[in-house]
Amino acid sequence: MQFDRKTYRLTDAGNYGRIALVIGIAGLVASAVGYFTDSAQFFHSYLTACFFWLSLGLGGLFFTMLHHLVDAKWSIVLRRLSENIMMTVPIMAILFIPLLFGIKDLFHWSHPEQVAVDHLLQSKAPYLNDTFFIIRTVLYFMVWCLLAFVLNKYSLQQDRAHNDGLFRKMRIVSAPGMILFALSITFAGFDWLMSLDAHWYSTIFGVYVFAGSLLAMLAFLTYSIFSLQSNNILTDVITPEHHHDLGKLLFAFTVFWAYMAFSQYFLIWYGNIPEETVWFIERWETSWKIISLIIVFGHFVVPFLVLFPAGAKRHRSVLVIVSLWLLVMHWVDLHWLVMPSLHHHGVHFSWMDPVTMIGIGGIFVWFFRRRTAAKPLVPINDPGLGESIRFINH
């Protein structure tokens, strides 16, 4: 890759994007073979992979809106990268479409014969039915895509010429956008993940999904920055001071995710209501117990201890390793949320799990790289850019 330090643009983006596209297409073709082999396994694997990559885009959308709402200065140099992550949401909307044809394979509430003999499913039928499910899914993506398009549009307009009015517009969009985002990601988590077992419910589940999504996005953002800097790109723009803040955010949201996970577990354990506890029992009494322990130690204890020292938050190698580790743990967490609804009696890994991840991930990375190469890597006419570059932690 080659970089123009005056325009902050890539003059040669390299072949990474094209390679990712080829790998992604090959993965999706192989995934299609999996559909004809075992449709139930395919749709569960595809849901896990699709939500993994979508969660990164949603995390980017949240980070961008939060930046505008609090008028942050330190993160100006990161904003364009978070916008590029955010703009993957429309492509993920397209990749989500196959799941709408797998409702019968994923959700037991979609089978009329099961609803007919289950009083609880009957009481939830006005909400949990195929038509309303699809309508809600379309609405979620419409909200996310609209917010992403509008914020990105104003940001690119700012690149052409500075205008104070654009700041106000981005903040005006972000304020109600944050409320819409909170509601939509919460109900999307309910619909796509929690309703895999419609007998179980948790009022904290939406926040749990959000915490994992934002943490994964921060890990992806951190890794992307160091990937660029390994090619001598943005090395004098995104400094160790920014690395330190990214490390602090990774540490903070590791703790926040763990707090949400423990709160969900503790309240259900303390209440000891059978229809609530059965969900955790299913993930503890079989070989899923091993995955549960991996999540406890891998998603919280290990990154917490590694990131706890101040020096670790500024150390490039540590942040790269932790970022990749957290992305793996995010997938393990989603696998743990989705797969027990299919494999009740224990852990079962399928070749479709990595293939769907590679297929969707290849398209995601290609699209992200494409946007990264198309525009300046920082908002070049933002009046706070110089202050952001000179940012120092206090």
**What count of other Cβ atoms lies within 10 Å of the Cβ of residue 287?**
12
Residues 6+ apart with CB under 8 A from 25: 359, 362, 363
Each domain of the chain, given as residue ranges in start order, spans: 12-389
Q: What is the pLDDT of residue 394?
A: 66
Q: What is the pLDDT of residue 94?
A: 97
Q: What is the pLDDT of residue 6?
A: 81
Q: What is the pLDDT of residue 392?
A: 86
Tell me which H or E stretch contains 4.
strand 2-4
Residues 6+ apart with CB under 8 A from 176: none
Q: What is the pLDDT of residue 164?
A: 78
Q: What is the pLDDT of residue 11?
A: 79
Q: What is the pLDDT of residue 61?
A: 97
**Percentage helix, strand, coil for the chain under 3-state DSSP, each rounded to 5:** 75, 0, 20
Contacts within 8 Å (CB) and 24+ apart, 184-187: 184/139, 184/140, 184/143, 184/144, 185/58, 185/140, 185/209, 185/210, 185/213, 186/210, 187/136, 187/140
Tens digits of pLDDT across the chain (394 residues): 777 778 888 877 778 889 999 999 999 999 999 999 999 999 999 999 999 999 999 999 999 999 999 988 999 999 999 999 999 999 999 999 999 999 999 999 999 999 999 999 999 999 999 999 999 999 999 999 999 999 999 999 988 877 778 889 999 999 999 999 999 999 999 999 999 999 998 999 999 999 999 999 999 999 999 999 998 999 999 999 999 999 999 999 999 999 999 999 998 888 888 878 889 999 998 899 999 999 999 999 999 999 999 999 999 999 999 999 999 999 999 999 999 999 988 999 999 999 999 999 999 999 999 999 988 999 998 888 899 999 887 6
Q: What is the pLDDT of residue 367?
A: 95
